[in-house]
Chain A
Amino acid sequence: MQHVKGRYTETSGMPEDTIAPFSLGRFTLLILRVANLTFGGGDPTMAVLFRELVVSRGWLTRERYGLIYSLARATPGTNILAFCAGAGWQVARWHGALVAVLAASIPCAAAIVWFTYAYTLWRSNPLAMSAIGGTLAAAVGMMFAATFQLCRPRWKPGNRLRAAVLVAGGFGLSFGLHMPPIEVLGLGALVGLVWRPSET
């Protein structure tokens, strides 16, 4: 068993006797449970992990959690997997990073393969297709909602013109001019480098 004592208490900010003993197995089970049983994507999962890793167990400090959370947001790809890699590396270096990413992704990947397989089986059944048709319509609403929710935190007084130009620009270049998405994203990043939001 790998203990927190000495190596992590300096950064935990908690008295040694209140820190739960650390082991890679316990950490893996925690990630396995939280990442695969929390619905709603990365943000709710990272919120639960804050409680489990920082508040309940003291394996990470608030500051270290904040740094890992910020970097996970800045890392390409899926935020929660980057978060798990960062948290795992912080507590147990490469072993921790590897088991955290595997534990956070394998069970839900197996679940989605099963769901997709079930979809291919059910698509010849009219009733099943009626139900699936309902969920496909719901997916359209969820995707528009994702657009809205990505914009909402940046839709602040003083920054609305910038936000509107970037969203409309991304939409127009892709939908109107058929520009490849990577070029649109690269252009967006370049605009962001020269046109900064007022709060930064």
Chain B
Amino acid sequence: MNLILLYLLLLKATATSFSGLTSLPVVRNDFVVHRQLLTDRQLNAAVVAGRTVPGPNGLYVVSVGYFIAGIPGACAGWLALISPAFVMIPLLRYVGARAERPEIRSAIQALTLAAAGLIASATIPLARDALHGPLSIAIAAGSFLFMVFTERDTLWIIGGSALIGLLAGLLG
């Protein structure tokens, strides 16, 4: 795939999201559904990779770029990840005072809530790919509860679920 196009498509996803995984529906729509350059399993693995290493939650786009076009793709993903951050500077200089305007805050809140619905929608196909039996469903439920009710690091979820999967593989 053309790297500039890859960068622009990933930039579209990162520049229209307001937190890490909210770009996921756009990425899935472009690369899994329309262009079929990525499978749901790879996208899911990219999300796991993004949650496994420290750093921003949106880092998974680097992994998406790597799956599509190797190291150059990862570079395109990294550029798409960092580019929107520089929008911050004109915002800080010129429109900082307006960030607290009620209509702007309301629009951002609404957009975030709509993004939550979009994430749930994008998770369902990934769940179909990843959940195949009682054990995987139990792992998914356990990781949900762990995330919601504890403050512990997500590395515990990744390590614990990998260990459970490994033990299940060893036992048969």
Taking CB atoms, residues of chain B closer than 8 Å to A14 are none
User: Interface residues of A, CB < 8 Å — how many?
Assistant: 101
CB <8 Å contact, A40 and B88? no
Assess whether A169 is interfacial by the CB under 8 Å rule: yes
Contact of A105 among B56, B123, B148, B169 (CB under 8 A): B56
Contact of A150 among B19, B59, B106 (CB under 8 A): B19
CB <8 Å contact, B88 and A150? no
CB of A3, distance to nearest CB on chain B (Å):
22
CB-nearest residue of chain B to A141: B143
Q: Name A's interface SS.
A: helix
Given A139-B126, A192-B110, the answer on whether A84 and B85 have CB atoms closer than 8 Å is yes
CB <8 Å contact, B88 and A71? yes
Assess whether B37 is interfacial by the CB under 8 Å rule: no
CB <8 Å contact, B154 and A40? yes
A52 to B119 alpha-carbon distance, docked (Å):
33
CB <8 Å contact, B102 and A86? no
Taking CB atoms, residues of chain B closer than 8 Å to A144 are 120, 123, 140, 144
A64 to B15 alpha-carbon distance, docked (Å):
24
Contact of B117 among A38, A136, A137, A166 (CB under 8 A): A166
Task: Flag B19-51 by CB within 8 Å of A: 1 or 0 each.
Answer: 111101110010000000000010011111111
Residues 1 to 58 of chain A near chain B (Cβ within 8 Å): 35-42, 45
Contact of B113 among A36, A70, A129, A170 (CB under 8 A): A170
